[in-house]
Structure 1
């Protein structure tokens, strides 16, 4: 069998182990952790993996196809790259590596407002195919300017984030000085000295910064000033009054990310969203909350015919993608898995991880004798 990736790293777990070896401890802990006791982060994946399939070996079967359409766009696989903040802190140039890989493999890449590559650069690297996720600003003029930039960059989809009314309690980030923004301390400096590949790449690409927000910042801000500016600039709370002007202004597809209840799904439909991403921010916000797969099943049952339903948070592997699609989601987004790949393999990590996930997902469909990803729900083992 021919493998389209480096066979020394044939799983997400092995990529994670290698990334841990190559990244400074503070950067790896920022990537790898959830909030509070990490319960909901672990629960996300564990409960997705409770989903089981039943194969149909004797049916008339030709071959499996991963191709699908989402938001009116044709993609080569039913999964994409989640928006991730501070990617360049975790591995230098990470968002550009992933943006390039997304174009090569024809899957969606979502750029976060608070990551380390700008809207314009992401659009350039993806030939105008990058989605953009908006952290809601406190000022209307700033919101409008960012949206206008996304429109000018030809982003086909605007994703509005709703699941960060306040930042989650993340004890390791507090200890490491990464609460917002990153701070330099002696402990972190020692960690950097022990990771020469990360340090050299940081020297090559420069210190990470909030690239999309650079034009709005005063030059020469201290770290303390930057932190206060970021806190004052973004308001995580979202409501009907804040959403209406965005819907009026944005002419492309509009998606709400962070939905975790039928009530919010119904409100998203009423407000004119084209899609929702069921998500709990990778388990980084509410440790006492449900896993993502739990509300997904009920939301799909009630609203599948009224809005496009996707899922983010807890998906790590190809079989996980299959489980989520089988549970009714039309698409899945992964964050940590791609960052493990980049942390492990640098510039080759995005391409490697996407190729591996495609192969894993393809194998699940072939083993089930399922020709189409949209038919996966027919193979689910029903409980009860």
Structure 2
């Protein structure tokens, strides 16, 4: 596939800046912010970029292929689109735009329970190839019904979330009325008036809603009632007893997202899970925690031969993907990067963001003489972050 992109926005940082100018401040800050003082938000990317790779310029090179096999499917690149809540708030129909782009480019799209498109809609767009992320409901009947819907829709992978036992303390969202219960302030209305393009598109497509949850929501909820419903419906804290019935019920691949320690990785293996995503929720939950890449190397070294180890949080470029895979991740996911794309470029945002990431990653692979994505650890330079070096360098 020929990769076409808008040359005015060749990086995720360019997309972020255009998104900032194009959508209301409350929507951008919901997307862009972390929690508390944003320490871990910035640490995520900074620590990834402390990782260094060593090139082998005189080694024999037969070409670079970024295709990556994951759970029996060969994807065209080792990255996917991470689940993001309230996607339609940032730009109307964002989940549909990104799912369509992911299907076209053969990379995984993960739909969040609290996104603004239904399981069924995204499954139709992706011909049953989209993954689904489950926020754990308090009621077993709701949990079981959502899982049955994901199975009926053909989702090959169910992702369960373990890093939201409580909602993160996010000062921007509190100021902007996007905490629970949400509220619309005069300031928010003025911001909308200042972004007429966003306002018109939102008006045309309708107010974003939690479409997957619609069957379980009483009709006609006001904002305060919506907040009460969300607080009542979800109980985010997982434990082994809550995971066991999901494993028994779900026939496909089961992945635990939010793993940040070797102890939780070990528990995931004992529970029979197929994969883990090392993550700190993009720095939106625990400002005092480690960056996501800090525990990745040790988790991958200890458990990479027993379970598929993946990572999200902090990746913003092709080189970031390469660095993360060199530290032991078999696959990577990005959320904000793709949402910047749709907020910046609308319907073209998904295709554009995938294209620039593929081009950037291909350039890194060719530069360092890496032929396959599973070879990235061989090019790792020892560092404080990784704790180890690639072991096959001398054989090349």
Question: Which range, TM-score by smaller chain?
Answer: over 0.9
Write out aligned runs for 1:42-57 (5 A): 42-57=42-57
Against the structure 1 CA distance between its residues 155 and 166, is the aligned structure 2 distance closer, same or farther, given a 3 Å change threshold? same
Which residue matches 1:237?
237
* Runs (5+) with no aligned partner, structure 1: none
Which residue matches 2:169?
169
* 1:302 pairs with 2:299: no
Q: CA deviation at 1:181?
A: 4.8
* 1:285 pairs with 2:269: no
Q: Which SS does the other structure have where 2:255 is aligned? A: strand
Alpha-carbon separation, structure 2, partners of 1:355 and 1:4: 7
Q: Could you give the per-residue CA deviations for residues 140-175 of structure 1, whole angstroms, max 9, x where no partner exists? A: 111000000000000000000000000010000000
Q: Which SS does the other structure have where 2:10 is aligned? A: coil
Q: CA deviation at 1:38?
A: 0.2
Write out aligned runs for 1:207-222 (5 A): 207-222=207-222
Alpha-carbon separation, structure 2, partners of 1:381 and 1:150: 41
Against the structure 1 CA distance between its residues 367 and 300, is the aligned structure 2 distance closer, same or farther, given a 3 Å change threshold? same
Q: Which runs of 4+ in 1 moved over 2 A?
A: none
Alpha-carbon separation, structure 2, partners of 1:288 and 1:83: 23
Q: Which SS does the other structure have where 2:310 is aligned? A: strand
Which residue matches 1:192?
192
Alpha-carbon separation, structure 1, partners of 2:51 and 2:239: 34
Q: Could you give the per-residue CA deviations for residues 247-291 of structure 1, whole angstroms, max 9, x where no partner exists? A: 000010000000000000000000010000000000000000000
Q: Which SS does the other structure have where 1:148 is aligned? A: helix
Which residue matches 2:269?
269
Alpha-carbon separation, structure 1, partners of 2:240 and 2:381: 39
* Runs (5+) with no aligned partner, structure 2: 385-396
Quick check: 2:321–2:361 contact (8 Å CA) kept in 1? yes
Q: CA deviation at 1:74?
A: 1.3
Which residue matches 1:83?
83
Q: Normalising to structure 2: TM-score of the pair?
A: 0.96
Q: Which SS does the other structure have where 2:190 is aligned? A: helix
Which residue matches 2:103?
103
How many residue pairs were aligned?
383
Write out aligned runs for 1:119-130 (5 A): 119-130=119-130
Q: CA deviation at 1:369?
A: 1.2
Which residue matches 1:135?
135
Alpha-carbon separation, structure 2, partners of 1:99 and 1:286: 29
Q: CA deviation at 1:180?
A: 2.7
Q: CA deviation at 1:182?
A: 3.5
Write out aligned runs for 1:1-384 (5 A): 4-383=4-383
Alpha-carbon separation, structure 1, partners of 2:258 and 2:53: 27
Q: CA RMSD in A?
A: 0.9
Quick check: 2:156–2:252 contact (8 Å CA) kept in 1? yes
Quick check: 2:182–2:224 contact (8 Å CA) kept in 1? no
Alpha-carbon separation, structure 1, partners of 2:202 and 2:126: 23
Q: 262-271 vs 181-190, which deviates more?
A: 181-190
Quick check: 2:181–2:225 contact (8 Å CA) kept in 1? no
Q: CA deviation at 1:3?
A: 6.4
Alpha-carbon separation, structure 1, partners of 2:383 and 2:35: 31
Q: CA deviation at 1:353?
A: 0.2
Against the structure 1 CA distance between its residues 183 and 43, is the aligned structure 2 distance closer, same or farther, given a 3 Å change threshold? same
